[in-house]
Structure 1
Amino acid sequence: MNLLIVTANDRPSSQATSPKMYEAFMEELKNNDNVNVTVYDVYQEDTPYLGQDIFNAYMKLEAHEPLTESEERLFNAQKKARDLFEAADTVAFVFPLWNLTIPAKLQTFVDYVFAAGYTFKYDTEGNMIQLMNDKKVILLNARGGVYSTPEMQPMEMAVNYMRTSFGGVMGMEIIDEVIIEGHNQDPVNGEAIVAEGLEKVRAVAKNLK
């Protein structure tokens, strides 16, 4: 299996939980000979925001016209993300909840691949056709508060967004999901909450094949 890991937190693991999840996932994958791993760190990669430059670039390429520096930068960034995404059988996203949603850098990666004509298209009758629904997705998320209760669920726009984007619109199967939550809200039990979650992360990595 070709596994692409998209990690989205540049804080050290001594200060944040989703980096701990990433480290635990990677450590366990060393023992899994069934998986070829590629890592895309949104904070290490050049990820300019998607905008008009990409549309200009595609029009110029079609017309065999030279690109500006900013157009070429954005085109190359999107192409790299898409090439890695296409090559993967499974994509694992490791990310925090920040201000009720995903980090902007991760949003940019999603913007690179969430596109009509790429991951989905419309037929002549306006029906959406999913183009990469054979891919699998893993979601590994950390959030310091508790958002799984009925009154808090509507405020959670990180995991819900990723589920809707990749599982809903793109039709990919979400094969595993680990959410570590409440460790900041409950500092007395915080370490135990994180430790239990990391064991679940290791189990996901161990079971991949």
Structure 2
Amino acid sequence: MNLLVVTANDRPSSQATSPKMYDAFMEELKQNDNVDVTVYDVYKEDTPYLGQDIFNAYMKLEGHEPLTESEDRLFTAQSKARDLFEKADTIAFVFPLWNLTIPAKLQTFVDYVFSAGFTFKYDTEGNMIQLMNDKKIILLNARGGVYSTKEMQPLEMAVNYMKTSFGGVMGMEIIDEVIIEGHNQDPTKSDDIIAEGLEKVKTVAKNLK
């Protein structure tokens, strides 16, 4: 299996939980000979925001015209993300809930691949056709509050967004999901909540084939 791990938190694991999840996942993967792993750290990669430059780049490339520096930078960044995504059988996202949603850097990665002509297209009647629905998705998320209750769940726009984008629109199968939540809301249980979640993360890595 070709596994792409997209990690999206530049805080140290001593201060944040999703980096702990990433560390546990990667450590367990070392014991799994069935998996070839590639890591894409959105905070270490050059990830300029998607905008008009990419459309300018496409048009210029079709006309064999030279790109500006900013157009070339964005086209190169998007191409790298797309190449890694396309080669992967499974993509694991490790990310926090920040201000009810995903980090902006992760949003940029999603923008690179969430694109007509790449992960989906429209037929002549306007129906959406999913182009990569054979890919598998793993979601590893940390959120300090509790958002799994009926009252709070509608406010959670990180895991919900990722599931809707990759599972719903792109038709990819969400094969595993581990959410560590509530460790900041109840500090007396923080260590136990995180430890239990990290064991689940290790199990996900161990079971990959």
**TM-score class, shorter:** over 0.9
Please tell me whether residue 64 in structure 1 is matched to residue 64 in structure 2: yes
Residue 12 of structure 1 and its aligned partner are, at CA, apart by 0.1
1:94 counterpart SS class: strand
Q: Output the TM-score relative to the length of structure 2.
A: 1.00
In structure 2, the gaps of 5 or more residues are none
CA distance in 2 between partners of 1:63 and 1:125 (Å): 29
Percent identity, aligned pairs only, is 88
User: 1:15 aligns to what?
Assistant: 15
CA distance in 1 between partners of 2:127 and 2:75 (Å): 28
User: 2:103 aligns to what?
Assistant: 103
What amino acid does structure 1 have at the position aligned with 2:67?
L
Residue 149 of structure 1 and its aligned partner are, at CA, apart by 0.2
The alignment yields a C-alpha RMSD, in angstroms, of 0.2
User: 1:34 aligns to what?
Assistant: 34
1:40 counterpart SS class: strand
CA distance in 2 between partners of 1:170 and 1:109 (Å): 15
> Any runs of at least 4 consecutive aligned residues in structure 1 with deviations exceeding 2 A, and if so which?
none
Residue 129 of structure 1 and its aligned partner are, at CA, apart by 0.3
User: 2:143 aligns to what?
Assistant: 143
User: 1:45 aligns to what?
Assistant: 45
CA distance in 2 between partners of 1:76 and 1:115 (Å): 16
CA displacement, residues 158-194 of structure 1 (integer Å, 9 cap, x when unaligned): 0000000000000000000000000000000000000
CA distance in 2 between partners of 1:118 and 1:159 (Å): 22
1:6 counterpart SS class: strand
CA displacement, residues 56-106 of structure 1 (integer Å, 9 cap, x when unaligned): 000000000000000000000000000000000000000000000000000
CA displacement, residues 96-141 of structure 1 (integer Å, 9 cap, x when unaligned): 0000000000000000000011100000111100000000000000
Please tell me whether residue 83 in structure 1 is matched to residue 56 in structure 2: no
In structure 1, the gaps of 5 or more residues are none
CA distance in 2 between partners of 1:191 and 1:125 (Å): 54
Report the number of matched residues.
209
Residue 43 of structure 1 and its aligned partner are, at CA, apart by 0.1
CA distance in 2 between partners of 1:122 and 1:65 (Å): 28
CA distance in 1 between partners of 2:204 and 2:161 (Å): 21
Residue 55 of structure 1 and its aligned partner are, at CA, apart by 0.1
CA distance in 1 between partners of 2:64 and 2:117 (Å): 21
Q: Output the TM-score relative to the length of structure 1.
A: 1.00
CA distance in 2 between partners of 1:116 and 1:69 (Å): 25
CA displacement, residues 2-39 of structure 1 (integer Å, 9 cap, x when unaligned): 00000000000000000000000000000000000000
User: 2:196 aligns to what?
Assistant: 196
What amino acid does structure 2 have at the position aligned with 1:167?
G
CA distance in 1 between partners of 2:26 and 2:121 (Å): 34
User: 1:127 aligns to what?
Assistant: 127
What amino acid does structure 1 have at the position aligned with 2:50?
L
CA distance in 2 between partners of 1:109 and 1:32 (Å): 27
